[in-house]
Each structure stands twice: as C-alpha cells, then as structure tokens.
C-alpha cells in the first residue's frame, strides 16, 4: 500500500512538473506570437478627421507587416475625452491602443475639468504616427504677404483683424501669438474647419492658424496666403515660408501630431514591438506618398524618444495655458 501511494504521488508530482513546463513553454510561445489577433485602435474623434485619417493610413500599412488587421473604433464625443478615458481603461495586453493628439494629451487636462486624468501617468507613449506643422495664413483681400506686414496692418488698423477659430489648439495659438508678438486679432468661433477656412478664403475673416493638412489645399490653390510656420523647424511642404522663430517671435511653438499610446502596465516587449513595426510601416512608400499629399510629416522616434517628446509637449502647452489664463 505504501509503495502504491508513493508511486501515485510520484506520478502526480511528475505530471505537475510536466504540466508546469508545458504552461511555461506555452506562455513563452504565446508571448512570442504577439500579436495573435487583430488590434483595436481607439480614435477619440469622429471618422473623417485628421487623427482618423492618419490612423487609417497607418493601419493599412502595418496590417500586412504584423499579419493582423487594425480595427478602428471612433469615439467622437466631448473633445476626445471619453475616447481617451476608454484607452486608459483598456487591458494592458497590446490589443487595444489609443491614438492621442495634442488636445487630448497635452491641453485638455489643463483646460477641461472633464479631463480628470493625467495622460503621462496613465499611459505609455509608443510611437509617432504623424507630425503636422501649423501655418498662419491671411485672407488674400488684405494684400498682405509677410508677417511684418500683418503686424503693421494690425497696429494701423486696431480692431479690424479677425481670427477664425474652431479648436482649442487654434484659439490658444491666437492667444499665444498675441502674448509673444503683441498682434491683436478678434476671435470669431466656428463649429468646424470648413466654415472657418471658407470665411478666410472669402475675406470675411482676416486670418487663421491651421494645421498644414487642413489648409494645404487652399494654399496650393492660391486661395489664402501663408506667412509663417508656427513650429521651430521649417516645413518640408512649405520650404519657402519662414518659421515664426525666424521672424523674431520666440518661445512660441504650435504644432499637431498623432501618436500611439497604451495603458501604463503594458509589457515592454509589446511596446517595443509596436514601436518597431509602426516605424517600419510609416517608412513605406505608400505611406510617405500619401502623407506628402496631405502635408503630414514624420518623426522617426523610439518609444523612449516618443515619451520624452510628449513630456516636452505637455510642459509647453501647460505653460502657455497658464500664461494665457494669467493675462
């Protein structure tokens, strides 16, 4: 009886060891096989906008590289806040990623009480999807060809310059420019970019600061006049337009981007995998050609560099928000 009992125990122990080994091997294999299914990308805006467009371009390019589809889930409500919270609350397994932009990650937490989250504490930045400079454009009927001319016109015609605005970024861009340069423009709010830009084209609004993707078709058509790039570096899409820094307006950077984020507890190997494959996808000719059409630029950054970029962005926007509020 004793021998039988010991034998059964030995068999049980052996079976447990074999089972544990199988689980270990299986777990390792599963980890190595990531991704084993489709990945959901949450876009915290309605379909058809800039963030959605860039996500779909990226998704189409990365799918054949990773062997699985990217499922776009649009959650377009309340300035992108619900969608961002959805991304923060997702399982940290790499199968749900969040697309963040300047407003949802670096501005809303300082301007909107509903954005009761701290993005850089709740999320990990993974990779840049696209980078978009902003451009200061003026209505052609003003016959203004440069920023100094706009400054001169503003001083000689106080109260006459109007500014078409439809986003928090655009309005902060106007307020920041006034703080940094002294140029005063009366803000006119619009529900969307179409109506706002159309009024600048028609001369009913004097100027606006818009992302290059939205304004480029009008610039190419000669419908508006670009006079400054509001980023620190020149735009490859508008190489002959000076930067605002070159024009003497310092400490003023307004730009836009779409980046991928995951919940903070997502494993490092998954973060690195997504970063590597995203950078590979963005470099493909199909993406580069499509981005060139819509004036989107790329930043080839590692996951750590993307995180550092977000930290700088958050610091810069927080500073601008506070300065505008204190004015």
Tokens 């790039």, located at residue: 229
Q: Does domain 133-229 sit in CATH 3.60.20.10?
A: no
Going by their DSSP bridges, the two strands 123-139 and 224-229 should be labelled as antiparallel
Q: What number is the average pLDDT over the span 109-136?
A: 95
Return the structure tokens found at 101: 């932009």
Tokens 């009480």, located at residue: 113
- Report the alpha-carbon distance of residue 263 to residue 271 in Å, rounded: 10
Examine the pLDDT at 256 and tell me if it is beyond 90.
no
Examine the pLDDT at 60 and tell me if it is beyond 70.
yes
Return the structure tokens found at 178: 């006034």
Are the C-beta atoms of residues 167 and 111 closer than 8 Å to each other? no
Total residues found in the chain within this entry: 327
- pLDDT bucket at 22, cuts 50 / 70 / 90: very low
Give pLDDT, residue 14: 41
Can you name the CATH fold of 39-131+256-326?
D-Maltodextrin-Binding Protein; domain 2 (3.40.190)
Q: What number is the average pLDDT over the span 80-105?
A: 96
Return the structure tokens found at 17: 């060891």
Q: Would you tell me how many other CB atoms lie within 10 Å of the CB of residue 317?
A: 25
Please state, rounded to an integer, the average pLDDT across all residues of the chain: 89
- Report the alpha-carbon distance of residue 319 to residue 259 in Å, rounded: 21
- Report the alpha-carbon distance of residue 96 to residue 89 in Å, rounded: 10
Return the structure tokens found at 313: 């962005």
- Cα–chain-centroid distance for residue 238? 21
Q: What number is the average pLDDT over the span 6-28?
A: 41
Examine the pLDDT at 139 and tell me if it is beyond 60.
yes
Are 39-131+256-326 and 133-229 the same fold in CATH? yes
- Report the alpha-carbon distance of residue 141 to residue 312 in Å, rounded: 38
Give pLDDT, residue 269: 97
Domain boundaries, the chain: 39-131+256-326, 133-229
Single pTM value for the model: 0.79
Tokens 């809303």, located at residue: 108
Give pLDDT, residue 30: 42
- Report the alpha-carbon distance of residue 179 to residue 320 in Å, rounded: 9
Examine the pLDDT at 5 and tell me if it is beyond 80.
no
The percentage of residues in the chain with a pLDDT greater than 90, rounded to a whole number, is 71
Examine the pLDDT at 177 and tell me if it is beyond 90.
yes
């Amino acid at each position: 009886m004793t021998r039988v009992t010991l034998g059964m125990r030995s068999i049980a122990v052996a079976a447990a060891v074999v089972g544990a080994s199988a689980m270990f091997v299986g777990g390792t294999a599963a980890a190595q096989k990531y991704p084993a299914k489709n990945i959901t990308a949450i876009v915290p805006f309605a379909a058809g906008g800039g963030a959605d467009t860039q996500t779909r371009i990226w998704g189409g390019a990365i799918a054949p590289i990773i062997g699985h589809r990217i499922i776009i889930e649009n959650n377009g409500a309340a300035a992108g806040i619900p969608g961002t919270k959805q991304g923060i609350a997702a399982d940290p397994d790499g199968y749900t990623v969040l697309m963040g932009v300047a407003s949802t990650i670096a501005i809303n937490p300082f301007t909107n009480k509903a954005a009761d989250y701290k993005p850089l504490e709740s999320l990990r930045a993974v990779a840049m999807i696209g980078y978009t400079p902003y451009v200061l454009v003026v209505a052609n009927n003003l016959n203004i060809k440069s920023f100094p001319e706009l400054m001169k016109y503003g001083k000689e015609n106080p109260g006459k310059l109007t500014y078409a605005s439809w986003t928090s970024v655009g309005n902060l861009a106007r307020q920041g420019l006034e703080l940094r340069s002294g140029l005063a423009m009366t803000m006119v709010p619009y529900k969307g970019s179409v109506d706002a830009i159309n009024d600048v084209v028609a001369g009913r609004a004097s100027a606006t600061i818009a992302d290059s993707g939205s304004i480029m078709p009008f610039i190419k058509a000669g419908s508006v006049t670009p006079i400054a790039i509001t980023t620190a570096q020149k735009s490859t899409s508008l190489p002959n337009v000076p930067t605002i820094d070159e024009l003497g307006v310092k400490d003023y950077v307004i730009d836009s981007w779409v980046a991928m984020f995951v919940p903070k507890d997502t494993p490092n190997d998954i973060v690195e995998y997504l970063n590597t494959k995203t950078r590979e996808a963005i470099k493909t000719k199909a993406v580069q050609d499509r981005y060139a059409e819509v004036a989107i630029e790329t930043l080839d950054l590692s996951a750590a560099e993307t995180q550092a970029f977000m930290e700088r962005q958050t610091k810069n926007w927080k500073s601008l928000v506070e300065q505008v509020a204190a004015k």
